[in-house]
Amino acid sequence: MIHQPVLLKESVDFLTTKIDGIYFDGTAGFGGHSTEILKKISSKGRLIATDKDQSAFENCKRLFSGDARYSIFNTSFTNIDTISKIEFIENFDGIFADLGVSSFQLDNIEAGFTFREDTSLDLRMNKQDGISASEFLNSADQDKIAKVLFEYGEEKNSRNIARKIVEARKNEKFESTFQLRKIIEDLTPQRFVTKSLSRVFQALRILVNNELDELRLFIDKSVNLLGVGGRIAFITFHSLEDRIVKEKFKYESLSCICPPGTPVCICGKKQTLKLVTHKPVIPTDNEINNNKRSRSAKLRVAEKV
């Protein structure tokens, strides 16, 4: 299987509350969740999807080509507002995202996400967007590189790694994954190398894809575009993403943000969501045994009020 969907039944059961509803899958990937959503809705229902990645887009377009209920766009999920206008949709009944990258992207050498193969150090989901990871490492100053590795990868050795990167690029510009891998291997005790590589590659991937800002924007736009009773369900894979989803859902579920002790409410805040899952739903031991990549997944769901 190209990509094994994570928390499939749990997420789609929470999301699809209306059989004739209109749904949005922001991260189509290889169509695992979309297939399940389409099974749950009637011939009057619709599913609109996006994926930034060209291969994922083409795969889903082919996979669902015979289904008139389905449309897909090769763009960021942050364009949900423009897409809803193109599709004459006022409100969605459910908005879904399964964040990060697919197993296909991680395993495919040409996609350039793996540190296990010597390939171009790019890490962009859409190769036309912004700058590649190598362009960033070749141009950013040492402090900025260290900050990115620390903030987006929680890499404790970020300062030393950044110093070595800046030293190394004086002799040879960064182009390949193995140039970066060698620096981390030279600086890290053998038993921590894989973890450190994962953190550094995660940090660069988050940066070049602008993942955290896009997530914030997508949640804000989704809250506006959900109809009353519509649900938002997001699966995250690391603490930075999960914190954003958790805090945004919590903020939207508050009806007052006045300081404690304020005699009457003066903030004007309106509640827009209510939490459906108070704690994140996580995969069962069985799912983790069958699919190691599911182990860090967390599903959070909220409903528009």
Ligand X SMILES: C[S@@+](CC[C@H](N)C(=O)[O-])C[C@H]1O[C@@H](n2cnc3c(N)ncnc32)[C@H](O)[C@@H]1O
* Binding positions for ligand X, rule: CB under 6 A: 3, 5, 26-27, 29-33, 50-53, 56, 76-77, 98, 100-102, 125, 214
Q: In this structure, is the dihedral angle defined by the CA atoms of residues 214, 215, 216 and 219, taken in order, positive or negative?
A: positive
- Give the Cα separation of 153 and 164 in Å (integer): 17
- Give the Cα separation of 105 and 205 in Å (integer): 12
For ligand X, give the closer residue by CB, 78 or 188: 78
- In whole angstroms, the minimum distance from the beta carbon of 194 to ligand X comes to 21
- In whole angstroms, the minimum distance from the beta carbon of 136 to ligand X comes to 18
- In whole angstroms, the minimum distance from the beta carbon of 104 to ligand X comes to 8
Q: Is 231 helix (H, G, I), strand (E, B) or coil?
A: strand
- In whole angstroms, the minimum distance from the beta carbon of 270 to ligand X comes to 27
Whole-angstrom CA distances from 161 to 88, 133, 265 are 49, 15, 50
For ligand X, give the closer residue by CB, 269 or 293: 293
- In whole angstroms, the minimum distance from the beta carbon of 216 to ligand X comes to 11
For ligand X, give the closer residue by CB, 176 or 296: 296
Strands (E), the chain: 22-25, 46-50, 70-73, 92-98, 226-236, 273-275, 298-304
Query: Pseudo-torsion of CA 168, 109, 299, 280, nearest 10°?
Result: -40
For ligand X, give the closer residue by CB, 125 or 207: 125
For ligand X, give the closer residue by CB, 32 or 188: 32
- In whole angstroms, the minimum distance from the beta carbon of 3 to ligand X comes to 5
| Beta bridge mates, 50 | 73
Angle at alpha carbon of residue 16, lines to 285 and 272, rounded to 5° = 100
8 Å CB contact between 155 and 164: no
Pairing of strands 92-98, 70-73: unpaired
For ligand X, give the closer residue by CB, 137 or 235: 235
